[in-house]
Amino acid sequence: MTASVRAPVSPHVLAWARERSGLGVEELETRFPKLAEWESGERTPTLKQLEDFARATRTPVGFLFLPEPPEEQVPIPDYRTMGDVGVRRPSPDLLDTIFACQQRQEWYRDFAQVTREDPVAFLGSLTTSVPIVEAAEQIRATLRFDLGERGRTWTDALRTLVDHAEELGVLVMVSGVVGANTHRKLDPEEFRGFSLVDRLAPLVFVNGADTKAAQIFTLAHELAHLFLGETALDNADLGEAPANPVERWCNRVAAEMLVPLAALGAELSPDAQIADELESLARKFKVSTLVVLRRVHDAGRLGWEEYQTAYRAELARILEILGERSGSGGNFFNTQPARVSKRFARAVIVSTLEGQTLHRDAFQMLGFRKFSTFEELVSRLGVG
């Protein structure tokens, strides 16, 4: 019998891959009983074991042969903060999501050049020197998202904002998982969204694992970045005052766009307890209760410390609700086009039907494997 080929790997790199994956030691040891010995250097995994370990930890197998752990960095400007401290180690899920979106953007840019699409007009049309109310009014008007245009529910409002942004040329991708893999769920506490600027293919990604109300604010925040003409990764956190001036501006503009202070003042009862009005105001403006809290603070009805206390309590309540939600991914034909952008999906379908893109490549970009799925998606999106 041929002896198994052992892989010469650094124990430090194996430990780095485990920590990077976010998986617990016990969870990995059920699949790799000798993991502790590998990390101590007492034993060396076989090549097959190393390949399995790479898949389990979502690590490029080539990384595992490096003498020292690589310094992985987010490939776009990272504005995320936790108490104004930058988040330094990106998860494999975040990195894979950014890379996938960059690939889709590159493909769509080429498609837009071939089909002679016009550059997106509003991109870079604002600067942070534009007053908050003026900027918010311009974005709201451009996106046709006044209070009377938001529908009856948060889902209606999110769909409307997505559709109007896509009509203007933005690829909007809303997903709570990596690709179409429902076992790789994205963590809203790591990031809530990002924007990728391109004159022909501006892209916004929104973490769909968050609540619908929170997704609306994230989308508004990322669209503000596009109006500035800036690429950025954010957590769009209203509980802090970001040190970065661009983040502060985008937060304030998104909040004013969604909940104009003038309109809020007309709705706030002067003597009512704020806690009693949170839900009704959130329903009125189709935003999260956290956004309402922030606007109440902006209106001078809550001091900063009182606001932060209320914000933390409300955030804890929302996170508990998120934790109790079922893991259902919904209907594939409803969710997958939203995950990759309906605008992008239609472009891929058109290019494939015209023979410009191979079916194999189209299936890979759209997140499925069967021709019957492609046919159904063509029908659902009304292409052809």
Predicted pLDDT at 111: 96
Angle at 106 between CA 100 and CA 107, to 5 degrees: 90
For the segment 288-319, what is each residue's pLDDT rounded down to a tens digit? 999 999 999 998 888 889 998 988 898 888 87
Predicted pLDDT at 355: 94
Instruction: Give the containing element (helix H, strand E) for 159.
Output: helix 154-167
Predicted pLDDT at 332: 76
Q: Are 242 and 248 in contact (CB under 8 A)?
A: yes
For the segment 191-207, what is each residue's pLDDT rounded down to a tens digit? 999 999 999 999 999 99
Q: Are 193 and 345 in contact (CB under 8 A)?
A: no
Which of 311, 294, 314, 299 has its CA nearest to residue 267? Answer: 299
Over the chain (384 residues), what is each successive 10-residue block's mean pLDDT? 71 91 87 91 90 92 91 90 61 94 97 96 97 98 94 93 98 93 89 97 96 93 98 84 88 96 87 80 92 92 89 85 59 84 94 94 90 88 76
